[in-house]
Amino acid sequence: MRWFKQKVKDEWIEQTKNKIYKELYVLVVLLCFFSIVYKETVNPEPFNLPVAELLILAGTGIYYTIRGWQFGIFSAEKEIHDRSSRIPMTAKHFIYTVAGGVGLSLFFGIRSAVVYGEGTSQSVYYFFLTFAGSLMIYIPVMLLLAFIPFIFTRAKNVE
């Protein structure tokens, strides 16, 4: 059973990740504090959209990706993973991305059929229409987002 085996971890990778997480935590706390102050003092409406919070979530992910690329974590982590795993990291990212795109498309298709369909045939039509449209949009977008670190890492290694 491979469930309880310890993964091989490089100390440098873990320390660098911890450094990034520390910087990221301070950044998130400051942005949340300013967001709360802004919402309570400048714009105290009860039905505010969580735009600032969504920007914080997206910003932290982008920040982690950029800092990880600068420190070279992605290529080192990929190399260590590929040495100890049967399935390469690139293949795993591809599988997870396609599964995420199909899952998101299924969610939108089912939601569209349930909310907007007025009968069985119209619900089936709305499901397949929304499912196909979502697949055409979300799978390429998710693949692009999933492989951006690999593209930048490969370009950095070529230099």
User: pLDDT-derived band of residue 44, with 50, 70 and 90 as boundaries?
Assistant: low
pLDDT tens track for 1-36: 566 666 667 888 889 988 998 888 888 878 877 876
- The Cα–Cα gap between 3 and 22 comes to 29
Of all residues in the chain, the percent with pLDDT exceeding 90 is 21
In this predicted structure, the answer to whether residue 46 has a pLDDT above a threshold of 90 is no
Contact 8, 84 (CB under 8 A): yes
pLDDT top residue among 129 and 28: 129
pLDDT tens track for 56-77: 767 877 887 788 878 878 778 8
Question: Largest Cα–Cα distance of the chain, in whole Å?
Answer: 59
Model-level pTM? 0.60
Neighbours of 40 (CB within 10 A): 9
Report the pLDDT value the prediction gives residue 26, as an integer from 0 to 100: 83
- The Cα–Cα gap between 3 and 145 comes to 29
Contact 83, 113 (CB under 8 A): no
Report the pLDDT value the prediction gives residue 123, as an integer from 0 to 100: 94
Report the pLDDT value the prediction gives residue 4, as an integer from 0 to 100: 63
Report the pLDDT value the prediction gives residue 1, as an integer from 0 to 100: 54
- The Cα–Cα gap between 7 and 43 comes to 49
In this predicted structure, the answer to whether residue 39 has a pLDDT above a threshold of 60 is yes
pLDDT top residue among 109 and 53: 109
Report the pLDDT value the prediction gives residue 14, as an integer from 0 to 100: 87
